[in-house]
Structure 1
Amino acid sequence: MSFSLRLATLMLVAVSAGAVLAQSAVSVAAPGSGQAADERERIGVERKAEEVRYSARRAQCYQRFAVDDCLNAESRLHRETLDGLKRREAVLNDAERRQRGEDALRRIQDKQANPPARDLPQERDRNRQAQQDREQRNADHAASRAATAAQASQRRQQFEDRQKAQAEKAAERAQRRTQDAAERERYERRQVDAEQRRTDAQRRNAARTKPPAAPLPDPAAKP
């Protein structure tokens, strides 16, 4: 497959994936939900993966005949991919701001609709127990989120390490191919130069060892 066809395929895949993921971000649930957190994590992973892929694609461009055209195309695709990720982040940020405003309004309405109960001993005990229960639930949720975040961070690091290793190997292979091609060219040039020197030496030797031509007969001489 030619480079142009591969590049067109990459651009089509990137645009399609960006459209699907952007639609996912638009339809995300409340910002405090797991969906929003997962989407934000996916954006971070995709951004780092794009940086790794971009580095590998730039290395491959140096193996092309039209290096500048390849680099410009990859830079344009890179910008479009990052712009798509920024748009998805903007959708999430807008949803979070809207949700915070709704939460603040709901708290105000709840306070207005439910005035504080009388401060009776039994009521204080119930409130204290309810507060302890809420704190315990919050602590449990925080521990669960921390464990989930740690696992996600570990998976993300493993993914990034694999992507980085693949990019480094691709760059090394590209560099070796470039060096091999240059070495072959130098070797062939030396061979041509050596052959030319041998030819020149043989020509000079032949000129030195060639016997002189016999003199022409004297026209005045009689037989």
Structure 2
Amino acid sequence: MFLSRGVFFASCASCLLAVALAVSTPAMAQSVTPASNSSARPAGASAPAAASGAQATTAKGPANAENTDSAGNAVTSDSDFDARQKALDQRTEENNYRYGVAEHDCYAKFFVNSCLNKARDSMRTVQADIRKEQLALDGEQRTQRARVRDEQAAIKRAQDEASAPQRAADDARNAQAYEDKQKQHQIDQAQRAAEAPQRSANAQAYQDKLRQHALDQAQRGISPSQAAANRQAYDQKQGDFQRKLDEARAQGAQKAQERVEKQQSFQKKQADAAQHKADVEARQKQAAEKAEQKRQDALKQQQIEEQQKQQQQQQ
């Protein structure tokens, strides 16, 4: 009796532990997994949802694989690659979300581990399909980049081939110019070497003249200090002469400028006088014309008066 009662208590304790675990585990999973429902779902409803999601994803995988194969035959652009990459990223996020929801729902079931294994297998199946399509997309992108790189290399080779004659002509011209410079340099060196004895002789003659000049000064009894004083006096005279010459040149330039200004002033006065004379003659002409006009008017008035007198006498 005591044994059966102990077994009964043990079974009750195990049931209570299972219930507590089933109640506490969904709450913990709900706080960890994103975008899950606030209330626990029934066990019968979660399993079909996970199965239907896995079937839809599995059915979607071959279709995308076919699209990838068909797109691999055509030349795709960067925008197409970006759109396909965005679609794969979106599918990855949806797969992770469905796995999180299925994992959350599994903790509300009695057979938790079996449900988790099924959800994990479904998620890995979809993940494998996405990975396969991602590898295919990466291969197409590498092929596209290689094709663009080959095209650019072909264009560069064509440009190099087109500019090859010009480069060859430039290289030949540069080589010829370099050879001409080298030849001219050799000629200059040979000429300088030939003129070396003459330069040496000129330097020796200059030194001889300096020594002879020193001997002459010594014979005339001129000391070095006296020679320096004479040299300073000579330099002073030359400086004074140069200063006077500069002053004379400056005065000459100033006088020349004054002559030019006087000539310009004279020409201006002559022009003003001519203009004044023309103005006077014009005014005199206008005055004569006015006087003549007045005389003509007076004669006409006189004739009119005489005619009027004659008419009165006749009446």
TM-score (norm 2): 0.34
Q: Considering only CA atoms, is the larger Rg found in Structure 1 or Structure 2?
A: 2
Higher RCO (Cα < 8 Å, 6 or more apart): 1
TM-score (norm 1): 0.47
